[in-house]
A and B are shown apart, each in its own frame.
Chain A
Amino acid sequence: MSDTTTSQRPLACAGDMGNMFSTSLLNMLLSVLTLSIYRFWGKTNVRRQLWGAVRAWGDPLEYTGTGKELFIGFLIVLFAIYLPLVGGFAWAQVMLVSGNPLGALLLSGLYLLTVMLVSVGLYRARRYQMSRTVWRGIRGGQTGSGWSYALRTLVVWIAVPLSLGWAWPWGEMWLANYRFNNTTFGDRHFKCDATASGLYGRFTLVWFSGLIFVVAAGILAVGAASLVEQGEMDETTAAVAFALVLVPLAVLTMALPSAWYRAGFYRNLAAGTEFEGSRFSVDIRAWGLIGLVAGNMLISLFSLGVLRPMASLRTFRYGCSVIGVEGEPDFAKVLRAEDTGPSTGEGLVAVLDGAGEF
């Protein structure tokens, strides 16, 4: 019956959309009134609701971060990193304009540094969120270093164009492995040995359908241009017709295959991840994923981002409904870790990225 090999669904998400809706509106109102300084507290508020809605084995997750931590992290990065960086870019521009060859060198160096800093920031933001996630009084965490992660990201970004995209499944999985192997709960590490080997079938479809899309779009564009030139269509009709053909084509050749690939990616990743001997699984299907992503996009788009917390709640609900765990890990062995995590939060991402997920 319930032996250790059966996969259960220990997570449940009971978040209330109505509450999230009013929280979203309140956050927007107060953000406008406070010149958006309130957003750190607003974000914290949303996270408390999201985390608190999730129950694992009957007990809720807790988010213990505070708005003040996010705000201080933001200020530190603003003055210690962002403003010097802007100054550096301005200086490089002046050098370029005055014909100094060092300007181009400085500029490309700064671009590289910025890209690296974004990766570092994303990794450190995850560390902050993990360390502020508590379940049954035990804290999560993340080890590893942001710079090491950023270097790996750089390797992937160099390898992907060099391999005409074929390095992507490997690179994506390699980075995910690093993140999950460094994820902790209490004094125990998650273990992740997921590989991209089973993903290349799906990726081949994505790659070739992408190629088909590019070629088809090119042919369509040339055809429309020649029709306009011959005077058989005026410019607006041609543009509308072009878009009308292109959008379904994009859905058919891009969205469907990549959703299929993405679902496979998450399945592989979950199947390769374990905690205290219990393996994870996700029951994700391409259509469910498309529904989730498309719905979230529409919500964010039509509310100009204001209702993004509701999109996040949809994601949480979906995640809880598909994540399975084989058996129950022996939680009695998981002890409190002494590391309390970073004291300030997410500054790098808050400044350099700005578009926080939730």
Chain B
Amino acid sequence: MTLSEPQRPGRFSDGRSAASRKVVVRVLPSGLEIRGEDGFLIAVWKTDDLLADGEWPEKRGIRLRCASEPDARLAVEDAFVIRETLPKPPLRRKSRHTGLVLACLLGAAVLVGLMVGLAPVSKLLAHLVPAGLERQWGQSIATGLEGQMKPCEGRDGLRVLDALAQRLAEPLPADRRGVRVHVLKSKDVNALALPGGEIILFSGLISKAEGPDELAGVLAHELTHIGERHVSAAMIRALGVGLFATMITGDASGLVASGLGAALAGAYTREDESAADMGALDLLEAAGIGSDGLALFFRRLATMEERQGQMLAWLGTHPDSASRAAAVEARRLPAPRLPALSDADWQAVKKVCSKKSP
């Protein structure tokens, strides 16, 4: 035995049982020879098959594996010579990095695609929802709201409001024209368009409105939401974002999905609101009603916002009223118009929530 064949004590597990036995390891030119303490030959591991398997800190040693015996484990004490003979680990880092870079690029591409495609695709899908289903959905929400809040039942006022909404809805597609107006008791200056064709007006809005044209403007705005199926589109958008977020994060609690949905909702809603303002102008013009009322109404909301120093409910997700007023005024319809409602009708609307009305 020469100095070039040093012997090292070590420990060996053969991978067939969980025992660990003391061994003597001899370094040969072709590999390692593993013998029991009794000198009995246990295994010969070729140099090319050797795999580094970490350190053995207690004995300043090294852990080894062998490609031809993948379950066996060897720990060798003070293995200076063996470290030298170990083959260098194969260079597969490069391919891993390409995969990672590709994955990152793909991720970015998917995000961009989602941001660009979400709005048009959800709009397209919203128009595929059967009108009957939308209507049913809207009616069930309206019934729910009427159950929670007190509905106003002034019959004359409601009839006038329905008629005004019908008149404004003339240019909409046939299956969108069956509009019904509900009035609910609430201080909020707010109006809602439900899918299908239900419009909810809060009594606070009616009492704040100073003329029929203002109310007509608000109705026209909500009708545009209905005509362009904004609610269904928003629903599909939220579903899509939620599904996507859940798919990629694996978070099924809905936390990520709803957070992302809420973050995106604001931006898209503002877009929808501006679209509805512009659509309202078209409806008003077709019905022969002036747009000054709508502009006035926004102006009044803007001063109320300033005075109260807080957002009103109807503005929560809306652009700020002053800029909306400016946008409406910029497209001011030229010719002077008749008021949207006769005096008597307007009084009926104003009284829609008073108990005395027949």
Contacts and interface: CB of A to CB of B under 8 A. Distances in A.
B19 A35 contact: no
A30 B100 contact: yes
Contacts of A37: 103, 107, 248
A35 B243 contact: no
Output the residue of B11, B18, B140, B253 with the most chain A CB within 10 A: B18
B54 A33 contact: no
Output the residue of A34, A135, A331 with the most chain B CB within 10 A: A34
B340 to A, nearest CB: 35
Given A34-B104, A136-B73, A351-B250, A336 B136 contact: no
B247 interface: yes
Contact of A138 (B11, B15, B104, B247): B15
B107 A33 contact: yes
A82 B244 CA distance: 13
Contact of B136 (A97, A334, A350, A354): A97
Contact of B249 (A14, A57, A352, A354): A354
B52 to A, nearest CB: 13
B19 A137 contact: no
A135 B20 CA distance: 11
B13 A74 contact: no
Given A33-B107, A98-B136, A336 B251 contact: no
A78 interface: yes
A14 B72 CA distance: 23
B68 interface: no
Contacts of A35: 107, 110-111, 248
Interface string A22-52: 0000000010011111110000000000001
Q: Is the interface of A mostly helix, strand, loop or mixed?
A: mixed
A186 interface: yes
Interface in B202-230: none
A136 B21 CA distance: 11
A48 to B, nearest CB: 11
Interface size class of B (residues with CB under 8 A): 35 or more
A98 B20 CA distance: 68
A158 B135 CA distance: 41
Contacts of A97: 136-137, 140
B54 A14 contact: no
A39 B107 CA distance: 13
Given A60-B54, A331-B18, A331-B19, A34 B71 contact: no
A138 B248 CA distance: 35
B103 A38 contact: yes
B71 A336 contact: yes
A333 B72 CA distance: 16
A335 interface: yes
Output the residue of B17, B20, B103, B248 with the most chain A CB within 10 A: B17
A335 B252 contact: no
A52 to B, nearest CB: 7
A138 B107 contact: no
A86 interface: yes
A33 B104 contact: yes
A294 B130 CA distance: 53
Nearest to A185: B18
B306 interface: no
A136 B14 CA distance: 8
B58 interface: yes
B147 interface: no
Given A37-B103, A334-B17, A58 B58 contact: yes
Interface string A303-338: 000000000000000000000000000011111100
A354 B140 CA distance: 34
A137 B13 contact: yes
Interface in B90-109: 100, 103-104, 106-108
Contacts of B137: 97
A14 B108 CA distance: 38
B177 to A, nearest CB: 23
B248 A136 contact: no
Output the residue of A74, A135, A186, A354 with the most chain B CB within 10 A: A354
B57 interface: yes
A137 B71 CA distance: 5
B17 to A, nearest CB: 5
B250 A136 contact: no
Nearest to A60: B54
A351 B252 CA distance: 6
Contacts of A34: 100, 103-104, 106-107
Nearest to A38: B103
B331 interface: no
Given A97-B140, A354-B253, A332 B103 contact: no
B107 A353 contact: no
A30 B73 CA distance: 33
A234 interface: no
Contacts of A339: none
Nearest to B244: A35
B16 A331 contact: no
8 contacts: A33-B103, A37-B103, A136-B13, A331-B17, A332-B19, A333-B17, A336-B16, A351-B252
